[in-house]
């Protein structure tokens, strides 16, 4: 403690004032369980109460009257402010002394204390004595620290919270305005189909996955970057001090890359992918909030371009974001207004040319008469969860329609109806029960139904998926893997699932006549399917060359514009009647 000027005292005044103030503090201290101190500035001696000593962990006779007993125990970082505050009070700048600081207690640790005091002045108006109390506030301080931690860190992933992220982003925006050469990027990440995993695995496994995902993100960035969980399955990364947009896209690629390794949760392996939107200070000069909003918009763009992608934001996306919001509102009312309908595309047995069945494909007939293909709304329906009621409607409507055809047309009973299932639908725990109800209501024979799922759907929670598939097989449904060859399903798992059909994605079929590699891929898929006792449907047959090629490869079935586009139910019925056999 710095030097305090000591003056001659008017003893009487002091004693009186002291008694008064001591009395005041004693009352407060008794209630608050505080320690007391009484500092004689003239002799530079301090009287510490027993409680004061006890609070620091000492016995009555272990502490002397020296001021150093107090001041030497104060944390070095708190000493300057303590000196200043006391000097300000003694100098009359502050009417009372009050400060929170840390003191070392007997076991060597530092604890937080609140110290209050009042000076007593002599007749000359000079301070001669100071007296006060000491309160242990370590509990309150630790609560505050916890609260602060909670506000700054996400409890599940231990990453920065949205609050802390926005704080750092605000700093970055400010820096970039001050210094032309300073640039940063914001990556907005959203896990693809996380809801499926959460629905099927349960929340604690979902939390575990979020944590592991966060750890992987940390591996992809540098120490000074901020990785944050914004909430739900949304994350954001602030990358500081970049020199070009490429610095940000490199990190996005690194994140995509690292996710090709499955996550090992307690009981199972999980594959996840993430869609990433990127904004940088090279192109945007905005508020922190708008930075994040633009990155979010770009992320949605990435989702719609097939997930597991990254997209860098550009201005025109504002318009897209508005359009998307409008579409989402319309989609929500479309279910109630029954604006959906099914089209049917024939699936042909390639050797004989007869119709083997139909694939039901959803269309959205908007109020203005336009007919939207699924590419324009299926992803949005997935994101909003609307895909679940929509999917059940498709299933029931396709079954009802097919049963109606069978009742009218005897050949139909030899045919199959193929129905697409969405990922969300497939991971519903009540999938099988709902199927049972639909079978009962429509009276359709389940052996006529082929359920199409995609590769990515069977690569989530493997044991749960196997169980779902086995239950569907028990009911005699057939299972097809749609768009085969475009996802990253592990062939190791493929043979262990009860799958009946592989549908070769049309991107291979459509290029097989010009591209040797694509031809080889189709040949391999056909060979693989046959070895695994599965049959093959080729999608996207547009020419007679496609058809010839596929026939030579021994591919059993096919669909495509060469035969017919998807058509409405009236035309489908005509197809059955008029074209029982293609040449």
Region near ligand C2E per CB under 6 A, out of 145-153, 329-337, 494-502, 556-564: 556-564
DSSP bridge partners of 277: 188, 311
Least Å from the CB of residue 420 to Mg ion: 5
437-476: contacts with ligand C2E (CB under 6 A): 452
Measured CA to CA, the distance from residue 382 to residue 377 in angstroms comes to 9
- Contact between 452 and Mg ion (CB under 5 A)? yes
Region near Mg ion per CB under 5 A, out of 39-47, 255-263, 415-423, 455-463: 415-423
If the CB atoms of residues 25 and 484 are measured against Mg ion, the closer one turns out to be 484
491-510: contacts with ligand C2E (CB under 6 A): 506
If the CB atoms of residues 485 and 566 are measured against ligand C2E, the closer one turns out to be 566
Q: Are 221 and 241 in contact (CB under 8 A)?
A: no
Measured CA to CA, the distance from residue 7 to residue 48 in angstroms comes to 22
225 DSSP assignment: S
Region near ligand C2E per CB under 6 A, out of 4-12, 313-321, 331-339, 419-427: 419-427
For 345, phi then psi, to 5°, come to -110, 125
Measured CA to CA, the distance from residue 273 to residue 487 in angstroms comes to 11
- Contact between 361 and ligand C2E (CB under 6 A)? yes
Measured CA to CA, the distance from residue 208 to residue 195 in angstroms comes to 14
Q: How far is CA 72 from the centre of its chain?
A: 50
The one among 483, 501, 556, 566 contacting Mg ion by CB under 5 A? 483
- Contact between 378 and ligand C2E (CB under 6 A)? yes
- Contact between 485 and ligand C2E (CB under 6 A)? no
By a kind-dependent CB cut-off of 5 to 8 A, residue 459 interacts, out of Mg ion, ligand C2E, none, with: none
By a kind-dependent CB cut-off of 5 to 8 A, residue 540 interacts, out of Mg ion, ligand C2E, none, with: ligand C2E
| Sequence-distant (≥ 6) Cβ neighbours of residue 435 within 8 angstroms | 395, 472, 475, 477
- Contact between 127 and ligand C2E (CB under 6 A)? no
Where would I find the beta strands (DSSP E) of 386-534? Answer: 416-420, 449-454, 478-484, 501-504
If the CB atoms of residues 217 and 502 are measured against Mg ion, the closer one turns out to be 502
Closest among 479, 474, 476, 356 to 416, alpha carbons compared: 356
The one among 206, 288, 357, 540 contacting ligand C2E by CB under 6 A? 540
Closest among 320, 325, 332 to 381, alpha carbons compared: 332
Task: Say if strands 274-280 and 310-312 run parallel, antiparallel, or are unpaired.
Answer: parallel
Least Å from the CB of residue 562 to ligand C2E: 7
- Contact between 455 and Mg ion (CB under 5 A)? no
Q: Are 135 and 31 in contact (CB under 8 A)?
A: no
Chain contacts with ligand C2E (rule: CB under 6 A): 345, 361-362, 373-375, 378, 391, 394, 420-422, 452, 482-483, 506, 539-542, 559-561, 566
Interacting residues toward Mg ion by CB under 5 A = 420, 452, 482-483, 539
């Amino acid at each position: 403690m710095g030097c305090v000027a000591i003056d001659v005292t008017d003893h009487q005044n002091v004693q009186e004032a002291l008694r008064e103030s001591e009395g005041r503090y004693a009352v407060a201290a008794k209630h608050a369980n505080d320690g007391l101190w009484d500092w004689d500035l003239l002799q530079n001696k301090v009287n510490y109460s027993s409680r004061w000593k006890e609070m620091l962990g000492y016995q009555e006779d272990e502490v002397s009257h020296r001021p150093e007993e107090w001041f030497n125990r104060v944390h070095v970082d708190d000493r300057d402010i303590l000196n200043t505050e006391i000097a300000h009070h003694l100098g009359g700048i502050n009417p009372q002394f009050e400060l929170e600081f840390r003191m070392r207690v007997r076991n060597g640790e530092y604890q937080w204390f609140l110290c209050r005091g009042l000076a007593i002045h002599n007749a000359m108006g000079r301070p001669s004595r100071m007296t006060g109390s000491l309160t242990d506030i370590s509990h309150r301080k630790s609560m505050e620290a916890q609260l602060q931690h909670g506000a700054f860190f996400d409890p599940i992933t231990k990453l920065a919270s949205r609050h802390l992220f926005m704080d750092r982003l605000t700093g970055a925006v400010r820096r970039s305005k001050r210094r032309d050469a300073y640039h940063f990027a914001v990556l907005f990440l959203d896990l693809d189909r996380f809801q499926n995993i959460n629905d099927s695995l349960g929340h604690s496994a979902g939390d575990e996955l979020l944590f592991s995902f966060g750890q992987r993100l940390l591996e992809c960035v540098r120490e000074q970057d901020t990785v944050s969980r914004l909430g739900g399955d949304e994350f954001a990364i602030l990358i500081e001090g970049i020199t070009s947009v490429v610095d940000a896209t490199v990190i996005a690629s690194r994140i995509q890359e690292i996710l090709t390794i499955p996550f090992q949760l307690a009981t199972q392996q999980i594959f996840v992918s993430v869609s990433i939107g990127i904004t940088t200070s090279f192109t945007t000069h905005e508020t922190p909030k708008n930075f994040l909003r633009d990155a979010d918009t770009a992320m949605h763009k990435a989702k719609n371009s097939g997930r597991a992608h990254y997209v860098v934001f550009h201005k025109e996306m504002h318009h897209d974001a508005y359009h998307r919001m409008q579409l989402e509102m319309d989609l929500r009312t479309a279910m109630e207004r029954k604006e959906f309908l099914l089209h049917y595309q024939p699936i042909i047995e390639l050797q004989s040319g007869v119709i083997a069945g139909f694939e039901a494909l959803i269309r959205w007939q908007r109020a203005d008469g336009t007919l939207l293909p699924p590419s324009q709304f299926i992803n949005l329906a997935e994101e909003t969860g609307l895909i679940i009621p929509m999917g059940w409607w498709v299933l029931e409507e396709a079954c009802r329609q097919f049963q109606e055809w069978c009742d009218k047309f005897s050949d139909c009973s030899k045919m199959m109806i193929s129905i697409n299932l969405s990922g969300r639908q497939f991971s519903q725990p009540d999938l099988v029960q709902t199927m049972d109800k639909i079978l009962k209501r429509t009276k359709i024979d389940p052996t006529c139904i082929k359920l199409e799922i995609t590769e990515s759907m069977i690569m989530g929670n493997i044991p749960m998926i196997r169980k779902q598939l086995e239950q569907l097989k028990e009911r005699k449904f057939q299972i097809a893997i749609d768009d085969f060859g475009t996802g990253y399903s592990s062939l190791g798992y493929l043979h262990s699932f009860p799958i009946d059909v592989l549908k070769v994605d049309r991107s291979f079929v459509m290029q097989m006549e010009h591209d040797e590699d694509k031809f080889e891929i189709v040949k391999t898929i056909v060979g693989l399917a046959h070895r695994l006792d599965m049959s093959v449907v080729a999608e996207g047959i547009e020419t007679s060359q496609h058809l010839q090629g596929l026939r030579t490869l021994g591919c059993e079935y096919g669909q495509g514009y060469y035969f017919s586009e998807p058509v409405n139910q009236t035309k489908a019925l005509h197809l059955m009647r008029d074209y029982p056999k293609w040449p």
